[in-house]
Amino acid sequence: MSTATMTYNLSATLAHLDATTQEILSRYPNAAQKLAESINLPPIPGDTLINTFEYFADEIPVHAEVDGVITLAIEEPEDFTYEVLENAINGELAIVKVGGTVVLNRINLIAKHSQDFRNKLETLL
Protein backbone atom coordinates (compact mmCIF):
# COMPACT_ATOMS: atom_id res chain seq x y z
CA MET A 1 0.00 0.00 0.00
CA SER A 2 1.39 3.40 -0.90
CA THR A 3 1.94 6.10 1.70
CA ALA A 4 -0.68 8.27 -0.02
CA THR A 5 -3.25 5.47 0.18
CA MET A 6 -2.40 4.77 3.80
CA THR A 7 -2.74 8.49 4.66
CA TYR A 8 -6.07 8.66 2.85
CA ASN A 9 -7.37 5.56 4.63
CA LEU A 10 -6.11 6.86 7.96
CA SER A 11 -7.77 10.22 7.38
CA ALA A 12 -11.02 8.59 6.30
CA THR A 13 -11.04 6.28 9.34
CA LEU A 14 -10.48 9.13 11.78
CA ALA A 15 -12.62 11.72 9.95
CA HIS A 16 -15.31 11.62 12.66
CA LEU A 17 -12.87 13.12 15.18
CA ASP A 18 -12.89 16.89 15.70
CA ALA A 19 -10.27 19.08 14.02
CA THR A 20 -8.24 19.62 17.20
CA THR A 21 -7.98 15.89 17.84
CA GLN A 22 -6.97 15.24 14.23
CA GLU A 23 -4.34 17.98 14.42
CA ILE A 24 -2.85 16.49 17.60
CA LEU A 25 -2.83 13.00 16.06
CA SER A 26 -1.01 14.35 13.00
CA ARG A 27 2.02 14.86 15.29
CA TYR A 28 1.87 11.22 16.46
CA PRO A 29 1.58 9.06 13.33
CA ASN A 30 2.19 5.73 15.10
CA ALA A 31 -0.54 6.44 17.65
CA ALA A 32 -2.88 7.60 14.88
CA GLN A 33 -2.25 4.43 12.89
CA LYS A 34 -2.88 2.18 15.91
CA LEU A 35 -6.05 4.12 16.70
CA ALA A 36 -7.30 3.79 13.12
CA GLU A 37 -6.69 0.03 13.24
CA SER A 38 -8.55 -0.30 16.55
CA ILE A 39 -11.38 2.21 16.28
CA ASN A 40 -13.94 -0.27 14.93
CA LEU A 41 -12.91 -3.31 16.97
CA PRO A 42 -15.43 -4.68 19.47
CA PRO A 43 -15.03 -4.14 23.22
CA ILE A 44 -12.50 -6.34 24.97
CA PRO A 45 -14.51 -9.22 26.45
CA GLY A 46 -15.25 -9.04 30.16
CA ASP A 47 -13.71 -12.44 30.81
CA THR A 48 -10.36 -11.53 29.26
CA LEU A 49 -7.40 -12.79 31.28
CA ILE A 50 -5.05 -9.82 31.34
CA ASN A 51 -1.44 -10.85 30.91
CA THR A 52 0.08 -7.58 29.77
CA PHE A 53 -0.86 -4.01 30.54
CA GLU A 54 0.96 -1.09 28.89
CA TYR A 55 0.76 2.71 28.92
CA PHE A 56 2.21 5.00 26.28
CA ALA A 57 2.38 8.79 26.56
CA ASP A 58 2.98 10.59 23.26
CA GLU A 59 4.09 7.26 21.77
CA ILE A 60 6.68 6.68 24.52
CA PRO A 61 6.26 3.59 26.73
CA VAL A 62 5.95 4.76 30.35
CA HIS A 63 4.52 1.73 32.17
CA ALA A 64 4.29 -1.99 31.54
CA GLU A 65 3.15 -4.99 33.56
CA VAL A 66 3.46 -8.66 32.64
CA ASP A 67 1.49 -11.12 34.75
CA GLY A 68 1.15 -8.48 37.48
CA VAL A 69 4.88 -7.73 37.62
CA ILE A 70 5.92 -4.19 36.71
CA THR A 71 8.52 -4.42 33.96
CA LEU A 72 8.71 -0.72 33.11
CA ALA A 73 7.85 2.30 35.23
CA ILE A 74 9.02 5.73 34.23
CA GLU A 75 8.33 8.26 36.94
CA GLU A 76 6.68 11.31 35.50
CA PRO A 77 7.36 14.78 36.90
CA GLU A 78 4.45 16.42 38.73
CA ASP A 79 3.97 18.90 35.89
CA PHE A 80 3.98 16.16 33.23
CA THR A 81 1.46 16.64 30.46
CA TYR A 82 0.77 14.56 27.39
CA GLU A 83 -1.20 14.95 24.22
CA VAL A 84 -1.86 11.28 23.46
CA LEU A 85 -2.25 8.57 26.09
CA GLU A 86 -2.65 4.96 24.98
CA ASN A 87 -3.39 1.88 27.07
CA ALA A 88 -2.98 -1.61 25.68
CA ILE A 89 -4.21 -4.87 27.19
CA ASN A 90 -2.59 -8.06 25.91
CA GLY A 91 -1.18 -6.06 23.01
CA GLU A 92 -4.58 -4.68 21.97
CA LEU A 93 -5.28 -0.98 22.17
CA ALA A 94 -7.96 -0.53 24.83
CA ILE A 95 -8.12 3.19 25.67
CA VAL A 96 -6.86 6.27 23.85
CA LYS A 97 -7.08 9.83 25.12
CA VAL A 98 -6.15 12.69 22.84
CA GLY A 99 -5.91 16.17 24.32
CA GLY A 100 -7.67 14.87 27.42
CA THR A 101 -10.66 13.47 25.50
CA VAL A 102 -11.32 9.74 25.37
CA VAL A 103 -11.51 8.79 21.68
CA LEU A 104 -11.36 5.01 22.14
CA ASN A 105 -12.68 2.97 25.05
CA ARG A 106 -12.84 -0.80 24.56
CA ILE A 107 -12.95 -1.72 28.25
CA ASN A 108 -16.61 -1.04 28.99
CA LEU A 109 -17.32 -4.72 29.58
CA ILE A 110 -14.26 -5.69 31.63
CA ALA A 111 -15.65 -6.51 35.04
CA LYS A 112 -14.00 -9.67 36.39
CA HIS A 113 -10.79 -8.15 37.68
CA SER A 114 -9.47 -6.99 41.00
CA GLN A 115 -10.50 -3.60 42.37
CA ASP A 116 -6.86 -2.50 42.03
CA PHE A 117 -6.90 -3.25 38.31
CA ARG A 118 -10.24 -1.47 37.82
CA ASN A 119 -8.82 1.55 39.65
CA LYS A 120 -5.84 1.61 37.27
CA LEU A 121 -8.17 1.57 34.27
CA GLU A 122 -10.41 4.27 35.70
CA THR A 123 -7.46 6.65 36.10
CA LEU A 124 -7.30 6.78 32.31
CA LEU A 125 -10.90 7.90 31.86
pLDDT for res 30: 94
Measured in residues, the chain has a length of 125
Average pLDDT over every residue of 16-24: 92
Backbone angles phi, psi at 71, to 5 degrees: -110, -15
Which has the minimum average pLDDT: 52-56, 100-104, 111-115? 111-115
Average pLDDT over every residue of 70-88: 91
Please report which confidence band the pLDDT of residue 112 belongs to, taking 50, 70 and 90 as the band edges.
Answer: very low
Please report which confidence band the pLDDT of residue 6 belongs to, taking 50, 70 and 90 as the band edges.
Answer: very low
The yes-or-no verdict on residue 8 having pLDDT over 60 is no
Compute the C-alpha angle 15/95/82, nearest 5°: 85
Q: 64: how many CB neighbours lie within 10 A of its CB?
A: 17
In Å, how far from its chain's centre is CA 7? 20
